[in-house]
Amino acid sequence: MIFRLTAKLARKIGLDPLTSLPHDKGMPPLLDWHAHLFTVQRTQYILTTNTASLYSLVMPGRGITMDRQFVQALSDSLQAFLSGQGQQPSVAGGLPSPDQDAAFVKITDRHILGSMNDLIFQSKIRLQEGQQTLFTVSYYLNETPLSYLKYRSPKTVFQEMLRQEGEPTVHGQKANNVFYLNQVRPAAPKG
């Protein structure tokens, strides 16, 4: 798992300074997340956003002072949020889990950070009203079409990623239409 943190969040959980790590195309996209700390009326919140789909979850920031607490809070919140939407989440399906190794690095993609800042602005407006839960706010964020996703919603893109992750392989073919050969047999002699 890779967690790309803002400097403010890294200081909060005791990981400052962070190193940079380029986006790895070989990493499963469900295991690459960005996280940003923000405050509304003196209460801290953490916005976690999947790098590929911008699927986001707003979590309470209170009490999260270590990296393990952060990963545990994200795993628990994501499982509850997906279950609340009628999806059957599975840690085995490639979602973050506290049992997995995690790398904490700094955010390098300004496009994703800009989208996250827009999502935080929307979150602040909804949270200042005081009438909405964190899950309700997260639900509305994931329904919002974003220019980074060519005006698709994060929910749509994330569900596509979950389906691709859960698709069984057929005759050695993976979900991304790439064939992997387990054994190479010599060609039959012509005769």
For the segment 155-163, the average pLDDT, to the nearest whole number, is 90
pLDDT digit string, tens, across residues 35-55: 999 999 999 999 999 999 999
155/142 Cα distance (integer angstroms): 5
Token look-up 């389906």 returns 163
The CA distances from residue 143 to 38, 88, 153, 163, 169, in Å, are 21, 19, 5, 18, 30
Q: If you count them, how many residues does the chain have?
A: 191
Say what percent of the chain tops pLDDT 90. 51
Sheet holding 56-60, edge to edge: 56-60, 43-50, 32-40, 2-5, 103-106
Q: What is the CATH number of domain 2-166?
A: 3.30.420
- Per DSSP, helices labelled H in 29-188 are 67-84, 110-129, 134-143, 154-166
d(CA 18, CA 2): 12
Measured CA to CA, the distance from residue 136 to residue 81 in angstroms comes to 10
Q: State how far the Cα of 69 lies from the Cα of 75, in Å rounded to an integer.
A: 10
Q: Is the pLDDT of residue 127 over 90?
A: yes
Helix, coil or strand: residue 188: coil
| Residue 24's pLDDT band (cuts 50, 70, 90) | low
Q: Distance (Å, rounded) from C-alpha 32 to C-alpha 174? A: 20
What's the CA gap between 136 and 140, in Å, rounded?
A: 6
The mean pLDDT value for 164-174 works out to 55
Strand, coil or helix: what is 101?
Answer: coil
Residues 54-108: tens digit of each pLDDT: 999 999 999 999 999 999 999 999 988 988 887 765 544 567 776 778 889 999 8
* pLDDT of 186 higher than 60: no
Residue type, 24: D
pLDDT value, residue 122? 95
